[in-house]
Amino acid sequence: MPIRDRFLSLHAAAGALLLAAGLAGLDRYIAEALHASGYESLGFFVGGTRLLDLVSGKEISKFLPGLVLLAGALVLFSIRATRNAGRNVLFVGLVQILGTLIAGVSKNLFGRLRPFELLQGGDWAHAWFVGGSSFPSGHAGFYFGLFMPLAWLFPRWRWPLMLIPWFIAVARVDANHHFVADIGASIVLVASLTWLFARWARPARPATLEATG
């Protein structure tokens, strides 16, 4: 299996594991442990999230990066010499904007309360379908949606690129704004979208070379 496909499989499996473990009880355990530990909402994670939201354009609109990428893809497609580049930009743009959109719409379907809301209210028996916005994670959908297709295109830089979405994943859990299952669901979603649209993307490196990466 090419290294970029193993990379997607690894993330899909990690996301599924987080989702299953979270729903099986890890969600509540982590939320309560963080709340009692004094390590909730660490300044490093809060400040880092704010900075990334500002730099990425999410502070303006969660759809801004995806729309910019799609617009750029249209321009590149209009020029014969840059059509392959246009495919790749379109690939990243589609995964990013659909990951963000589907995660956002799904929140309305599941209505899960956020960890800090349940910690405040104390009624863990009524966490779903009550108008909440925790599941799946919009932040994870946004950042994994941007960086996972980039990591697929540039396998040599896949782990440095993925540091950012994983930082966001840990930060959102640390802030008790999301459960680990919320993060896992978004990772599975984005890995699926990346696999789907990668079928017609143009890799940055030949498949014969990536097996040694």
Taking 90 as the threshold, does the pLDDT of residue 57 lie above it? yes
- What is this structure's pTM? 0.93
Q: Is residue 155 part of a domain?
A: yes
Question: Residue 9: what pLDDT?
Answer: 96
Query: Are 96 and 142 contacting, i.e. CB atoms less than 8 angstroms apart?
Result: yes
- Whether 81 maps to a domain, the answer reads yes
Per-residue pLDDT, 200: 78
Mean of all residue pLDDT scores within the chain: 93
Residue 144 lies in a domain: yes
Q: How confident is the model at residue 201 (pLDDT cuts 50, 70, 90)?
A: confident
Question: Is residue 50 in a domain?
Answer: no
Residue 9 inside a domain? The answer is: yes
Q: How many structural domains comprise the chain?
A: 1
Nearest residue to 144 via CA among 126, 125, 167 = 167
Domain that holds residue 119: 3-37+62-205
175: pLDDT strictly greater than 80: yes
Percent of the chain at pLDDT exceeding 90 = 89
Tell whether 51 is covered by a domain.
no
> Residue 27 domain-assigned?
yes
Please state whether 167 falls in left (phi above 0), alpha (psi between -120 and 50) or beta.
alpha
Q: Residue 163 is encoded by which pair of tokens?
A: 């540091």
105 Cβ neighbours under 8 A, 6+ residues apart: none
Residue 48, token pair as written in the block: 């880092």
- Is 210 among the domain residues? no
Q: How many CB atoms lie within 10 A of CB 147?
A: 23
Query: Smallest Cα–Cα separation from 136: which of 167, 164, 165, 104?
Result: 104
For residue 41, the surrounding DSSP H or E stretch is none
Question: In 3D, which of 49, 12, 21 has the Cα closest to residue 167?
Answer: 49
CA–CA distance from 203 to each of 77, 85, 90, 146 (Å)? 17, 10, 13, 16
Is residue 191's pLDDT more than 60?
yes
CA distance 110 to 148: 25
